[in-house]
């Protein structure tokens, strides 16, 4: 499993717009063949901060996501609403697929 945590900080007066655009991206992303999860998380203490939890079967599936029309539309739509550039943090999924115990 290949995961990216996308850290997003949105300017306060564009949060509602960001959430609408991100909902559309989410709805299309979860339909991609290689997508395992596409969660949108919001900081409970700072409503302008989000994390997109994107889990794909392979790095190639994650790369294919960035070639989709819905991703390109989302990226271009929200670009000017960022308080700072979004930051993707790649991770490798361990559990549930690759967990091993000594028991």
Question: For residue 69, is it within any domain?
Answer: yes
Cβ–Cβ < 8 Å for 86, 7: yes
Question: For residue 82, is it within any domain?
Answer: yes
Predicted TM-score (pTM) of this structure: 0.89
**pLDDT tens sequence for the chain (103 residues):** 899 999 999 999 999 999 999 999 999 999 999 999 999 999 999 999 999 999 999 999 999 999 999 999 999 999 999 999 999 999 887 787 666 665 5
- Percentage of the chain surpassing pLDDT 70? 92
Residue closest to 83 by CA, chosen among 12, 7, 4: 12
Number of domains in the chain: 1
Indicate the helix (H) or strand (E) that contains 59: helix 59-65
Query: Which domain, by its residues, includes 25?
Result: 2-92
Q: Alpha-carbon distance 78 to 38, whole Å?
A: 17
Question: For residue 25, is it within any domain?
Answer: yes
CATH code for the domain in which residue 79 is found: 3.30.70.100
Question: For residue 59, is it within any domain?
Answer: yes
pLDDT score of 65: 96
Question: For residue 7, is it within any domain?
Answer: yes
Query: Per residue in 23-43, pLDDT tens?
Result: 999 999 999 999 999 999 999
């Amino acid at each position: 499993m290949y995961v990216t945590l996308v850290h997003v900080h949105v300017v306060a007066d564009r949060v509602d717009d960001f959430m609408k655009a991100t909902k559309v991206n989410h709805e299309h992303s979860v339909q991609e063949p290689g997508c395992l999860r596409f969660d949108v998380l919001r900081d409970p203490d700072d409503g302008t901060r989000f994390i997109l939890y994107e889990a794909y079967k392979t790095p190639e599936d994650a790369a294919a996501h960035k070639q989709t029309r819905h991703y390109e539309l989302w990226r271009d739509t929200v670009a000017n609403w960022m308080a700072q550039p979004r930051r993707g943090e790649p991770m490798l999924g361990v559990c549930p697929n690759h967990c091993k115990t000594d028991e």
